[in-house]
């Protein structure tokens, strides 16, 4: 073999050896890098799959002033710890697409933490809807969002904690810790919810809620109502007063008939209908979705019963029996409250008043 051939073979062999060594080094580095990333994203335990550790953030720098300063560095790990690894013992509510937990952060702040279900239908869309909506709302009758945390499929919302829980509990779970609500408190709640809805519907880009019900009305220490759970909220863009929806949204008993009849366009009038049913539930103490027996032994639904009693002028008889009949209760006010509820819950959407008109009407009735 001549010298030239040996030189060529030696050069090729050297190239192959060097290539193998470099490839091996790159593979080792890549595997180690993957292991480091995997270790850095694991943690939290308790079956919570954390793919990415992020601190609580705001929607944008323009909205950051709305968030509680103590939450600026809250991590997913702290939220897991503050909720006892999302313990069932700390559940204080069941909102759309997720449970709500009471939590106390390391700063000492008590907050409400909502963990969205990763398997919920359109769960990601619900998360974005709540962030886009709540991030720009500032009103005394709307629950304030303090921050959020996103990690892989896990999405956590952090709200202000409203002390007294939901209106649903106060209407239907009376006991030593929840005495029956007096008439004046009930009308205060009705007025506050109306004011909050009117505010949402009057924004430059209006917002509808689509799931107004007692379970989504929270009461603070002074029994001021705060509308909660914007998981089903949608914005009405530009001058449009409606938008298309691909599925029925809301809760049976509070959904307007047009939604149940296959109409795929949601409007602010849908909220008005739900609010009307809310009024009737607050003053009677009866759920609109539960049938009950009347005097002749037949079963009826709340809206049908009230419509019939309205024609007979029997308003005081329909009041929640837990409401004390005293000097503060004026029969004329009771009548007008029932009639306002019926007007809002009219089957014909075009016959319903706007929430601005409802607030004006309540001002007249309650002054």
What residues are labeled active site? 211
Tokens read off for 178: 């929840």
Cβ atoms of 114 and 100 within 8 Å: the answer is yes
d(CA 122, CA 124): 6
Residue 168 to residues 34, 161, 214, 287, Cα–Cα distance (Å):
50, 17, 5, 9
d(CA 194, CA 28): 64
Tokens read off for 240: 């449009």
Q: Say which residues have a Cβ less than 8 Å from residue 129's Cβ, sequence separation at least 6.
A: 230, 231, 232, 233, 234
Strands 110-116 and 98-104: antiparallel
Residue 347 to residues 261, 297, 330, 342, Cα–Cα distance (Å):
11, 26, 28, 9
Strands 207-208 and 98-104: unpaired
Give binding residues for ATP as ranges. Answer: 115
d(CA 102, CA 82): 8
d(CA 167, CA 214): 5
């Amino acid at each position: 073999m001549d010298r030239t051939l040996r030189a060529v073979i030696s050069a090729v062999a050297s190239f192959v050896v060097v290539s193998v060594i470099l490839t091996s080094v790159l593979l080792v580095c890549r595997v180690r890098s993957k292991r480091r990333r995997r270790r850095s994203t694991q943690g939290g335990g308790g079956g919570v799959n954390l793919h990415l550790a992020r601190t609580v953030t705001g929607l944008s720098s323009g909205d950051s002033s709305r968030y509680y300063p103590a939450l600026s560095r809250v991590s997913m790990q702290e939220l897991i710890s503050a909720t006892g690894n999302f313990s069932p013992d700390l559940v204080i509510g069941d909102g759309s697409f997720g449970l709500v937990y009471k939590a106390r952060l390391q700063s000492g702040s008590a907050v409400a933490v909502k963990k969205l279900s990763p398997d919920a239908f359109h769960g990601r869309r619900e998360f974005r809807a709540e962030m886009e909506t709540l991030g720009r709302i500032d009103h005394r009758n709307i629950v304030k969002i303090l921050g959020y945390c996103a990690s892989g499929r896990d999405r956590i919302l952090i709200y202000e904690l409203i002390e007294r829980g939901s209106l649903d509990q106060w209407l239907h779970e009376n006991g030593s810790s929840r005495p029956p609500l007096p008439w004046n408190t009930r009308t205060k709640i009705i007025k506050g919810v109306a004011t909050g809805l009117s505010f949402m519907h009057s924004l430059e880009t209006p917002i509808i809620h689509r799931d107004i019900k007692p379970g989504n009305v929270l009461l603070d220490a002074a029994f001021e109502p705060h509308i909660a759970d914007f998981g089903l909220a949608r914005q009405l863009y530009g001058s449009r007063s409606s938008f298309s929806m691909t599925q029925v949204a809301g809760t049976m008993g509070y959904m307007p008939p047009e939604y149940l009849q296959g109409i795929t366009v949601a409007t602010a009038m849908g909220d008005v209908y739900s609010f009307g049913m809310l009024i009737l539930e607050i003053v009677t103490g009866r759920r609109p979705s539960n049938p009950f027996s009347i005097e002749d032994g037949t079963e009826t639904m709340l809206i049908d019963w009230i419509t019939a009693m309205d024609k007979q002028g029997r308003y005081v008889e329909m009041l929640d029996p837990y409401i004390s009949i005293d000097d503060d209760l004026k029969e004329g006010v009771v009548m007008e409250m029932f009639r306002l509820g019926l007007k809002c819950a009219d089957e014909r959407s075009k016959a319903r008043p706007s929430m601005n008109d409802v607030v004006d009407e309540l001002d007249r009735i309650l002054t």
